[in-house]
Structure 1
Amino acid sequence: MFRRRGAAVRDADAARVWAVCSVLLDYPTEEMVSSLDDLESLVPDDEHLVGLIRHMRGATLAELQQDYVVTFDHTRKCALYLTYFAYGDTRRRGAALVQFKEAYRRGGVEWSEEHGELPDHLCAVLQFGATVDLAIGRQLLEDHRAGVEMLRLALTGWRNDDGSTGSPWAAALVAICATLRELRGEEADAVRRLVEQGPPAEEVGLSGYGADPALATGPTIISSAAIPVGAPR
């Protein structure tokens, strides 16, 4: 799990938004549904997140789980893994994942892959920023700002079965983007390229990622089971 170490979070508003979104963007469970009132109490004035929470209250758990899998697990453009947007499944993505591990280590914690999750999962980054180190969490999000924006656009333009447009989860990305600086010239260009071309497509896999000696140092105090992130895949 994440454990605080050092200075307290400086931006309480951003931390609350990130904490709530780290739960709402996770795979729906009974525990999540039962926590919706508590989550709303953290962001009562955020119309986007309150709307998403109300949507979740109005759906069954089975409906939420089915929609989540269709949205995030079956659609590459809605991937919750930040390095995917910049590197796709190329060799360079492995090095980028190592950088996430190193960033967590700078915050005084280690990431465990015991449950098979990757450290660039958006829910993990948000929880780290909200509960461990806001500055480092913000830097990770800013470094992958184009990917965050691409995910927001993909969810905003999501086509529903009834012909309407917009995934309910788009609200969480709108709320997250509101805590980040606006896109600048080169970043806006990067988003346009992602929309037009998609992530790099060199299929090389990540087989060398887990073997990196930099990933095996220090005690394990971050666990993907404690986030938890992601549905069974």
Structure 2
Amino acid sequence: MSTDAVFYQAAALCLTYPDDDFVARLPLLREAAPQLREFTDHAAVTPPQELAAHYVQVFDFKDRHSLYLSWWHDGDTRRRGMSLVRFKEVYQAYGMEFTGEELPDFLPAVLEFTARTGNTDLLTEHRDCLEQLRRRLNDFGTPYACVLEAVCAALPTRRGWEITRR
């Protein structure tokens, strides 16, 4: 597995609910993806129940920090259904069938897809969404912002695109 693939897979794990498996994988994540060390170091010293409660506070109570990429573009509109179909079609084009409990635009699922295929198109197409999420997580003061910082920094740049940091 390439270093990019390892990074995207580690980022996917960091953005999922921090269950016992996540806590057990922290030492491996820390070593495998140094770009995420600020977050993994924080997670390693935070009691598991506190880490889980923080995840719920950040991602489950408000759409302001939605991990669903189509929500950023389409909101809760009918258009979103077509966007979700597009995600599934991209997965299918790579011989993958989305069968997760989450929707196909769930950022950890997209990161895992990127890790498995090397295709960053879904992430780069939603760069603006990722940047909005990154800014909001920074403003909220959560360590999850470090994960989005690393993901945004790892994406290929587009001509005329500059990442603005706050």
TM-score by length of 2: 0.91
| Cα distance in 2 for residues equivalent to 1:149 and 1:170 | 10
Aligned sequence identity (%): 38
Q: Is 1:130 matched up with 2:115?
A: yes
Q: Is 1:145 matched up with 2:135?
A: no
Report what 2:65 is aligned to.
Answer: 78
Deviation of the 1:182 alpha carbon: 4.1
2:42 counterpart SS class: helix
Deviation of the 1:183 alpha carbon: 6.5
AA aligned to 1:22 is A
Report what 2:20 is aligned to.
Answer: 30
RMSD: 1.8
Deviation of the 1:75 alpha carbon: 1.9
| Cα distance in 2 for residues equivalent to 1:38 and 1:92 | 39
| Cα distance in 1 for residues equivalent to 2:133 and 2:27 | 26
2:30–2:41 contact (8 Å) kept in structure 1: no
Report what 1:230 is aligned to.
Answer: none
Deviation of the 1:59 alpha carbon: 0.9
Deviation of the 1:181 alpha carbon: 3.4
Report what 1:201 is aligned to.
Answer: none
Alignment counterpart, residue 58 of structure 1, candidates 19, 42, 45:
45
TM-score by length of 1: 0.66
Greater Rg over alpha carbons, structure: 1
| Cα distance in 1 for residues equivalent to 2:94 and 2:157 | 25
Q: Is 1:43 matched up with 2:33?
A: yes
Deviation of the 1:13 alpha carbon: 3.1
| Cα distance in 1 for residues equivalent to 2:38 and 2:122 | 27
Deviation of the 1:184 alpha carbon: 6.4
AA aligned to 1:50 is R
Residue deviations 1:88-142 (CA, integer Å, cap 9, x gap):
00000000000000000011111125x3x100000000011102x112xx10011
Report what 2:145 is aligned to.
Answer: 170
Q: What does 1:101-116 align with in structure 2 at a 5 Å threshold?
A: 101-112=88-99, 115=101
AA aligned to 2:112 is Q
AA aligned to 2:134 is R
1:145–1:183 contact (8 Å) kept in structure 2: no
| Cα distance in 2 for residues equivalent to 1:173 and 1:110 | 26
2:69–2:106 contact (8 Å) kept in structure 1: yes
| Cα distance in 1 for residues equivalent to 2:127 and 2:150 | 14
| Cα distance in 2 for residues equivalent to 1:38 and 1:59 | 17
1:15–1:134 contact (8 Å) kept in structure 2: yes
AA aligned to 1:99 is R
Consecutive unaligned residues of structure 1, counting only runs of 5 or more, are: 1-8, 159-165, 189-233
Consecutive unaligned residues of structure 2, counting only runs of 5 or more, are: none
Alignment counterpart, residue 180 of structure 1, candidates 142, 155, 158:
155
Report what 1:223 is aligned to.
Answer: none
